[in-house]
Copies of this chain bind each other. A is one copy, B any other.
């Protein structure tokens, strides 16, 4: 069971948008046992799209196409599909009814002919109802390959995948079980990890594939296996994980599929009825944003202070100006005061603080660019650590966020 994802749109090929649709579709297909063989992004150009359809039909069982279904003239996916299937477009009554409903209740703008024309589908297609927009999905078959056309707007595509595409694929095909298990590690390079686990890796059975994914101070180790016997696949991977864990115990943080590090932290805090507040300087709100991206954060996250300037650290966070003057605003002492004071200010059990120079130019401190101090205040005290995360602003910030979560996670799993 192999699939290809074809994303259509010049905006992808000129780099104006990052294609996030493909990762979502690939993840969801994997969950139901369909492997993605290739992802192909092509221009809004009829010849190019037809060429991609032909190539895909030869190499996969399912082709999922996104994009190019809008009501404006630059969108040509539907007419191109009609040409590929030697078909004509016909109005679909149910789709038109849905469009009229959406326009009346949500869009509240005049229904134009181009909106009505959105209900045109290939006569050979099964229309897939789009609850969030006017462009219907379509399900088509040709020489044993299924073509599924979806809108490119992410939330419309996601709705159609969940409501229509995944259930239909699941019903139509016998599919194997695909298991990925990813171990998050922090603190060692991939070559050192590879060297450490080389005997284990050499003894891995053929049926289990190992991948190393290094990025910004973390290395993820992914074990993948596929087959029709779900119990055997799971037991096989679990046995390998059990053998691997003792070898990387000092750098292992958690499993990625289970949850992100923010969720692992959140679950632990909720379990023990503890709360958290954050004081961010160089990370600028990104720690808070990562935490609040997950539903249920309000159960343990009291809030945060983005103390971007020195004045705010003094005036709002009540960090002693003498302490700043004598140690520099980027220092372990100031980070610790920030963590303790935000814990007091927000009346939380724990506090996390960051202060650093993300660059490109030095801010209120003379510390070297890339220097970041991170402090964790706990019910028992406070500790801190200094890092240098290099010279690229966004990378410094992301590494600081990752490290803050890592330090905090180690702390609460020890103590709480």
What is the interface of chain A, defined by CB distance below 8 A to chain B? 10-20, 22-30, 35-44, 48, 52, 55, 70-75, 107, 109-110, 112, 114-115, 134, 153-155, 178, 180, 182, 188-192, 194-195, 201, 209-215, 222, 224, 256, 278, 280, 284-289, 291-293, 295, 297-298, 301-309, 311-312, 315-316, 345-347, 359-361, 363-364, 392-395, 397
Which of the residues B29, B55, B303 comes within 8 Å of A316, measured between beta carbons? B303
| B residues less than 8 Å from A73 (CB atoms) | 194, 201, 210
Closest chain-B Cβ to A243's Cβ sits at a distance in Å of 17
Instruction: Among B212, B303, B305, B363, point to the contact of A303 (Cβ < 8 A).
Output: B305
Known A-B contacts A19-B18, A20-B18, A298-B364; A306 and B293 likewise in contact (beta carbons under 8 Å): no
Give the residues in chain B near A188, CB-CB below 8 Å.
109
A211 to B76, CA, bound (A): 12
Q: What residues of chain B lie closer than 8 Å to A308, measured between beta carbons?
A: 288, 292, 297-298, 301-304
Contact of B14 with A26 in the complex, beta carbons under 8 Å:
yes
Per assembly, the copies of the chain total 2
- CB pair A222–B311 under 8 Å, yes or no, is no
Is there contact, CB below 8 Å, between A48 and B37? Answer: yes
Contact A153 B309, beta carbon cutoff 8 Å:
no
- Contact across chains for A19 and B17 when beta carbons are under 8 A apart: no
29 A/B residue pairs, CB under 8 Å, sorted by A: A12-B23, A13-B36, A13-B37, A14-B27, A15-B22, A15-B23, A15-B36, A16-B23, A16-B180, A16-B213, A37-B48, A38-B42, A74-B212, A284-B289, A285-B285, A285-B287, A285-B304, A288-B288, A288-B306, A288-B308, A292-B306, A293-B394, A293-B397, A295-B359, A298-B308, A301-B308, A303-B309, A305-B316, A306-B306
Give Cα distance in the complex from A222 to B9, angstroms.
Answer: 12
B209 x A74 contact (CB < 8 A): yes
Report B-chain residues with C-beta under 8 Å of the C-beta of A347: 311, 315
Q: A55 CA to B395 CA in the complex, in Å?
A: 35
Which 9 A-B pairs have CB atoms at the shortest separation, nearest pair first? A284-B292, A285-B288, A15-B27, A15-B26, A285-B285, A304-B306, A39-B41, A285-B289, A15-B23
- Decide if A210 touches B74 in the complex (CB within 8 Å): yes
Beyond the given pairs A16-B256, A316-B345, 14 more chain A to chain B contacts, judged by CB atoms under 8 angstroms and listed by A's residue number, are: A15-B25, A15-B29, A16-B180, A39-B41, A74-B211, A109-B192, A114-B191, A155-B395, A284-B289, A285-B288, A295-B359, A297-B308, A298-B364, A301-B309
Inter-chain CA distance A284–B292, complex, in Å, is 6
Nearest residue (CB) in B for A73 is B201
Give every chain B residue within 8 A of A309 (Cβ-Cβ).
298, 301-303
Smallest Cβ distance from A193 to chain B, in angstroms? 9
Return the contact of A295 from the options B14, B74, B114, B360 (Cβ within 8 A).
B360
Decide if B153 touches A215 in the complex (CB within 8 Å). Answer: yes
**Shortest distance between the CB of A54 and any CB in chain B (Å):** 12
How near does chain B come to A228, taking the closest CB pair, in angstroms? 19
With known contacts A288-B284, A302-B312, A195–B70 Cβ distance under 8 A? no
Give A413 to B71 CA distance when docked, in angstroms: 33
By a CB distance below 8 angstroms, the chain B residues around A14 are: 26-27, 30, 36, 178, 180, 224
Min CB distance A68 to B, Å, is 11
Contacts of A303 in B (CB 8 A): 305-309, 312, 316
